[in-house]
Amino acid sequence: MRIIGLTGDEAVAYAVKQCDVDVIAAYPITPQTIIVERISDFVANGEIDAEYVCVESEHSALSACIGASVMGARVFTATASQGLALMHEILYIASSLRLPIVMAVVNRALSAPINIHGDHSDMMGSRDCGWIQIYTENAQEAYDTTIQAFKIAEDPNASLPVTVNLDGFIISHSMERVEILNDEDVKRFLPPRKPLYRLDVENPITIGSLCFTDYYFEFKRQQAEAVEESYKTIMSVMNEYSKASGRSYKFIDTYGIEDAEVLIVCMGSTCGTARFTAKRLRERGEKVGIVKVSLYRPFPSKEIIEAIKNAEALVVMDRAVSFGAPSGPLCSDIKNTLYDAGLRIKILNIIYGLGGRDVSQSDVEQAFKLGFKLKSGDVKDKVLWLGVRE
């Protein structure tokens, strides 16, 4: 193991380099472009024995990945924002065909107005596409999660595509200390792909056939069961990687939940700021804690219930808006989880950081204060916009 200074984008690219990928199909879009630029350098320099396909759009990038994947190749692509939106049709095809494609999504706001900075609007707009979805907090997690993603995707008990999500610019363009595994260790962890099925002229099969009312319903039921069952595979891979790397990976990560009266639930880079703020507040005697959600699909309901069951108030932070809905995407999932578990915990949904708006320690401290007001019954609103100019 060695230490390198890498941005989040470069960390993903370096992980892909070590994963013996066969095909990379890509179209540049800010802020993920550096990922595919670095990979193209690795290919040009002979550091990766892979086919690098430059396509005319993100729609074509994922389509090329599907074609390569059904031939048995290990494939990778990356996108962001409008690029992910353009892929929308193909996202569903990849997951329905059970293809183990890995894609880095450098999360960015959707237009209009035009904005190139980070929030979770893009992936939340595609959250029901049938992909396993993992959110990362920093460059180290972006590197580690990319390696794990290939093993999760290709496991025969999963055989599903995976997105590795990292906050645009905050993670993608910030250089950090990243611990890199040796190439040999990655190869031991991630053996060559053994596809469940592949196109073969000697043994022809039908892929993506027409399916009317007689069987489509059954296919979707099987697909839903596959996503739920992938939970076990993800747990196994995370545990194995934790042993190989010495870094702990779980569906959720917690801080201070043992005696916390107010918990913040969040995802992505904000978790670091929230954790640091919680530490400062706990030093002053305030009973606060953090629940960081890393695995978003399938949603880790059991782990979340166990983490939040003793809290008196929850502040769920969404870096995306679900227009017309009672609350943001993450908060909606938390509410559903609580309802199914029979828990009546007070919940405040905070919308924050849209379009790359900075989230400071004082913002997180304000969120905790609102949580204590909610606990005492002094907050009537169920959704508040933090840091917005009224």
Indicate the DSSP class of residue 262: E
CA 29 from centre of chain: 18
The angle at the Cα of 13, spanning 8 to 14, to the nearest 5 degrees, equals 95
DSSP state string for 55-108: -SSHHHHHHHHHHHHHTT--EEEEE-HHHHHHTHHHHHHHHHTT---EEEEEE-
Distance in angstroms (rounded) separating the CA atoms of residues 173 and 8: 6
Query: Do the Cβ atoms of 207 and 117 come closer than 8 Å?
Result: no
Predicted confidence at residue 344, as pLDDT, reads: 95
C-alpha distances out from residue 366 to 204, 357, 375, Å: 61, 16, 14
Pick from 108, 164, 107: nearest CA to 133 = 164
Residue ranges of the alpha helices (H) in 256-353? 270-283, 301-308, 329-341
Indicate the SS3 state at residue 289. strand
Distance CA 90, CA 83 (A): 12
DSSP-assigned beta bridge partners for residue 135: 165
Contact between residue 317 and residue 367 where contact means Cβ atoms under 8 Å apart: yes
Domains for the chain: give ranges and CATH numbers.
2-245 (3.40.50.970), 252-385 (3.40.50.920)
Kindly give the parts of the chain with pLDDT less than 70.
none
Q: State the pLDDT at residue 390.
A: 85
In one-letter notation, the amino acid at residue 143 is: Y
**pTM for the full predicted model:** 0.98
